[in-house]
């Protein structure tokens, strides 16, 4: 059954008479809405290969944003695989007291915050003290890059990006894309555009890109770290590190729970003055 995106892209490509023969096309948000009759943000948001419209998937095409409201339709891929992580670790939460306001939601930020508060992120990155400094949407600064597999130069300026979280340490800036579940692929743009943007903002620090996933059924927190072998090449992405964490909550006790009720003193009697006199002289006797 064709999806709304399938139908919208087929309508757009047909009416614009585009030949998906390896050619690259510039596409605007206004054209998509006017010709295809669907919101551009819905037509251009693809987190996994399965979300690509049928006509693009069948012809090996993809879409990247280049400015606010402008895209490139090109032959190539925008996805990277998540190689299943086999490194596992169990850690005790570093939270020193029960947090009563957590666990109210089921979004990515909820679990990412818990991973940060519990010490998992610091353990994984080895970056020392980190501070949450980035979250939400902003527009990129201008930068150029190349998609090597397609031999395609791209110029970007003012594209909207959204970081699930970004943390700054003395030497590092940690950028994180977070998901619920265990996807097999992700859109490289989700890490690459923030990576290039914050490399301009903080050139003196190492910009590190992480993908985080929380598995609801297994209650595990998984971090993947990626690098770009050549910072100006979009598809030079490489997975270099990962770990699946299980979190153990610390034990909190009340004071009376720490007392050994089996212990009893042999005597509760406090000596009185008369008892001291009857036992002999004291240091105060003349």
Residues 157 and 32 in one domain: no
Please tell me whether residues 49 and 124 are part of one structural domain.
no
Provide block-wise average pLDDT over 10 residues at a time, the chain (286 residues).
Answer: 96 98 97 96 96 98 97 98 97 92 84 96 97 97 97 97 97 98 97 99 98 96 99 98 92 55 50 47 43
Which residues are within 8 A (CB) of 124 and not within 5 positions of it... i.e. 6 or more apart? 210, 223, 225, 241, 243, 245
Residue 101, φ and ψ in degrees, nearest 5: -105, 5
In a domain, 281, yes or no: no
Q: What angle do CA 11, 14, 17 make, to 5 degrees?
A: 145
Q: Domain count of the chain?
A: 2
**Does 13 share its domain with 127?**
no
Exposed / middle / buried, residue 73 (Cβ in 10 Å: 0-12, 13-18, 19+) = buried
Question: How far is it between the farthest Cα atoms of the chain?
Answer: 120
Q: What is the pLDDT of residue 283?
A: 44
| Domain presence at residue 108 | yes
Query: What pLDDT does residue 216 have?
Result: 93
Rounded-to-integer distance, Cα 171 and Cα 206, Å:
6
Domain co-membership, 108 together with 137: yes
Q: What is the pLDDT of residue 88?
A: 98
Q: Say what the pTM is.
A: 0.86
272 found inside a domain: no
DSSP conformation class of 32: I
Beta-strand ranges (E) seen in 42-119 are 61-67, 70-75, 79-81, 88-92
Query: Tell me, what's the pLDDT at 285?
Result: 45
Strands (DSSP E) found in 170-284: 172-180, 185-187, 206-215, 220-228, 237-248
Q: Give yes or no: residues 43 and 125 share one domain.
A: no
- Collapsed DSSP state (helix, strand, coil) of residue 110: helix
Q: What is the pLDDT of residue 266?
A: 52
- Please report, to the nearest 10 degrees, the dihedral formed by the alpha carbons of residues 266, 271, 276, 278 taken in order: -70
Q: Domain containing 145: what range?
A: 81-248
Quick one: how far is CA 184 from the chain centroid? 15
Q: Please give the span between the terminal C-alpha atoms of the chain, in angstroms, as a whole number.
A: 110
What backbone torsions phi and psi does residue 56 show, to the nearest 5 degrees? Answer: -75, -40
């Amino acid at each position: 059954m064709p999806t709304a995106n399938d139908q919208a892209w087929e309508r757009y490509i047909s009416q614009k008479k585009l030949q998906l023969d390896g050619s690259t096309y510039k596409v605007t948000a206004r054209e998509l809405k006017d010709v295809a009759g669907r919101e551009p943000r819905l037509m251009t948001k693809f987190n996994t290969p399965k979300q690509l419209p049928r006509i693009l998937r069948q012809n090996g095409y993809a879409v990247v944003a280049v400015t606010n409201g402008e895209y490139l339709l090109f032959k190539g891929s925008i996805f990277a695989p998540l190689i299943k992580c086999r490194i596992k670790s169990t850690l005790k939460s570093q939270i020193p007291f029960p947090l009563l306001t957590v666990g109210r939601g089921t979004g990515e930020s909820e679990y990412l915050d818990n991973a940060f508060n519990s010490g998992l992120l610091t353990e994984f990155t080895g970056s020392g003290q980190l501070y949450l400094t980035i979250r939400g949407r902003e527009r990129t600064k201008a930068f150029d890059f190349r998609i090597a597999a397609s031999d395609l130069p791209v110029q970007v300026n003012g594209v909207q990006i959204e970081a699930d979280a970004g943390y700054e340490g003395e030497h590092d800036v940690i950028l994180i894309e977070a998901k619920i579940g265990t996807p097999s692929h992700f859109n490289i743009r989700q890490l690459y555009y923030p990576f290039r943007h914050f490399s301009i903002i903080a050139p003196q620090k190492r910009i590190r890109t992480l993908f985080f996933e929380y598995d609801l059924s297994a209650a595990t927190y998984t971090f993947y770290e990626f690098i770009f072998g050549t910072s100006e090449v979009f598809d030079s992405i490489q997975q270099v590190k990962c770990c699946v964490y299980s979190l153990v909550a610390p034990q909190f006790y009340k004071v009376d729970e720490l007392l050994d009720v089996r212990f009893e003193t042999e005597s509760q009697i406090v000596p009185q003055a008369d008892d001291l006199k009857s036992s002999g002289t004291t240091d105060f006797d003349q």
